[in-house]
Amino acid sequence: AQSVTQLGSHVSVSEGALVLLRCNYSSSVPPYLFWYVQYPNQGLQLLLKYTSAATLVKGINGFEAEFKKSETSFHLTKPSAHMSDAAEYFCAVSTNPYNQGGKLIFGQGTELSVKP
Amino acid sequence: DTEVTQTPKHLVMGMTNKKSLKCEQHMGHRAMYWYKQKAKKPPELMFVYSYEKLSINESVPSRFSPECPNSSLLNLHLHALQPEDSALYLCASSHAVVEKLFFGSGTQLSVL
């Protein structure tokens, strides 16, 4: 069975500081991994995805994530936090990509706060 | 057009009411999804439609009835809901099952 674990339900950083949101996955097959962001009262928006190509994945809004198979991790980073980055972030892993029974499994989420 | 449009944005209903949530996309996506999200929790998958056929039902109670009239539309019919069904209901679509999902803004449902 596939799963993701997000370490830290809440992360607080100062504006301009490094953002690091942690995600570890469990998968018996090569996983497809995703980071989504959810702003208040909105749906989820894809930040980036890993699909077995480059291990360093660049996404929107200056975010990137590195797939590390040896550590079963897919941590999300941004060099310099902006106030507008305050939101809920979800790591997700897919099961059976492109197959009929595939589905996305979300982590519990990490709320990012950015202090001025 | 890269939007998934959900209506209504807010819905208040009694436990004996019948209502429907609607979702529409014009991106040519062939997979569509319903998710339920409680506050401060991740989205929980309810249903997946692939090529207009129901491919996944996550053991959702029968008081929730999905319908996919065509490749652009997805409905969720609600009947005899319970207060614990109050949540944000999100629709999403993708080119293929479990590719990049595009989410709508959701319908905030309150059951009284």
| Residue numbers in A near B90 (CB within 8 A) | 43-44
Question: What are the b/e assignments for A68-89, b being 16+ CB within 10 Å?
Answer: eeeeebbbbebeebeeebbbbb
Q: Which residues of B touch A99 (CB under 8 A)?
A: 97
Along chain A (116 residues), what's the average pLDDT of each consecutive run of 10 residues?
Answer: 91 98 88 92 91 88 94 96 97 71 84 96
Which one has a higher pLDDT value, B101 or B74? B74
Q: Residue A29 has what pLDDT?
A: 76
Total CB pairs under 8 A between chain A and B: 62
Q: Which residues of A touch B98 (CB under 8 A)?
A: 32, 94-98, 102-104
Listed in sequence order, the residues at least 6 apart from A29 whose beta carbon sits closer than 8 Å to its beta carbon are none
Lowest-confidence segment of A73-87, B32-46, B79-93, B98-112 by average pLDDT? B98-112
For chain B, the average pLDDT equals: 92
Cα separation of B81 and B14, whole Å?
A: 8
Strands A87-95 and A32-38 turn out to be antiparallel
